[in-house]
Structure 1
Amino acid sequence: MKKLAILGSTGSIGTSTLSICESFPDRYQPIALAAGQNLDVAFAQCERWRPQVISIATEELAGQLQQRLKSAGITGIEVVHGTAGTVHIATLPAVDFVVSAIVGVAGLEATYAAVKAGKTIGLANKECLVAAGELIMAAAKEHNVALLPIDSEHNAVHQCMSGGTPREVQQVWLTASGGPFRNTPLADFEHITPAQALKHPTWVMGQRITIDSATMMNKGFEVIEACRLFSLPPAQVRVTIHPQSTVHSMVEFIDGSILAQISVTDMRLPILYALAYPERVDATPAPGLKFDLAKLSQLDFSAPDLNRFPCLRLAYEAAETGGNACIALNAADEIAVAAFLEGRIPFLGIPRTIEQVLLQTPGGHPASISHVLEADLQARVTAREVIANQLAGVR
Structure 2
Amino acid sequence: MKQICILGSTGSIGESTLSILAKYPHRFAVVSLAAGRNVESAAQQCLTWRPRVLSMATEELASELKARLLALGVTGTDVVYGTAGTVLAATLPEVDFVVSAIVGVAGLEATYAAVLAGKPIGLANKEAMVAAGDLLNAAARKHNVPLIPIDSEHNAVHQCMRAGRLNEVKNVWLTASGGPFRTLPLGRFASITVEQALKHPTWVMGQRITIDSATMLNKGLEIIEACRLFDLPPSQIKVTVHPQSTVHSLVEYIDGSILAQISVTDMRLPILYALSYPERVESDLTFDMSMLADLHFEQPDLERFPCLRLAYEAAEVGGAHPIALNAADEIAVEAFLARRIGFQDIAGTIEKVLAETPSFTPASIAEVLEQDDAARRRARHILAR
Q: Give the TM-score normalised by structure 2.
A: 1.00
2:355 is aligned, of 353, 359, 363, to 359
Unaligned runs of at least 5 residues, structure 2: none
Structure 1 partner of 2:241: 241
Alpha-carbon separation, structure 2, partners of 1:11 and 1:334:
17
**Is structure 2 residue 378 aligned with structure 1 residue 387?**
no
SS of equivalent to 1:274: helix
Q: 1:159 Cα shift?
A: 0.3
- In the alignment, what sits opposite 2:280? 280
Question: Could you tell me how far apart the structure 1 residues matched to 2:343 and 2:53 are?
Answer: 41
Structure 1: stretches of 5+ with no match in the other structure: 390-395
Whole-Å Cα distance in 2 between the matches of residues 323 and 264 of structure 1? 36
Q: Which residue of 2 aligns with 1:392?
A: none
Looking at structure 2, the residues matched to 341 and 315 of structure 1 have their Cα atoms a distance apart, in angstroms, of 21
Percent identity, aligned pairs only?
69
Alpha-carbon deviation of 1:102? 0.1
Q: 2:210 corresponds to which residue?
A: 210
Give the Å deviation of 1:17.
Answer: 0.3
Match for 1:334: what amino acid? E
Structure 1 equivalent of residue 287 of structure 2: 291
Q: Give, in whole Å, the separation in 2 of the partners of 1:344 and 1:190.
A: 14
**1:23 corresponds to:** 23
Shift of 1:190: 1.0
Structure 2 equivalent of residue 329 of structure 1 = 325
Task: Tell me which residue corresponds to 2:8.
Answer: 8
Give the counterpart of 1:376 among 349, 372, 378. 372
Tell me the CA shift for residue 139 of structure 1.
Answer: 0.8
Match of 2:174 in 1: 174
Quote the offset at 1:162 in angstroms: 1.2
CA offsets, 1:8-45, max 9 Å, x none? Answer: 00000000000000100000111100000011000000
> Aligned letter for 2:274?
A
Mapped to 2, the partners of 1:66 and 1:193 lie a distance apart of 41
Q: Deviations over 1:200-235 (max 9, x none)?
A: 000000000000000000000000000000000000
Shift of 1:364: 1.2
Mapped partners of 1:134, 1:307: distance in 2: 30
SS in 2 for 1:68: helix
For 1:95, what is the secondary structure of its paired residue?
A: coil
Shift of 1:276: 0.7
Counterpart amino acid of 2:80? V
Aligned with 1:344 (options 330, 340, 343):
340
| AA aligned opposite 1:21 | L
| 2:111 maps to 1:105 | no
1:141 to partner: Cα distance: 0.8
Question: Does the residue aligned with 1:299 lie in a helix, a strand or coil?
Answer: coil
Distance between the aligned counterparts of 1:147 and 1:40, measured in 2?
Answer: 31
Q: What's the CA shift for 1:68?
A: 1.0
Instruction: Give the deviation of 1:73 after TM superposition.
Output: 1.1
Letter matched to residue 169 of structure 1: V
Q: Which runs of 4+ in 1 moved over 3 A?
A: none
In structure 2, how many angstroms separate the alpha carbons of the residues matched to 1:318 and 1:144? 29
RMSD: 0.5
Q: What is the distance in 2 between the residues matched to 1:163 and 1:89?
A: 35
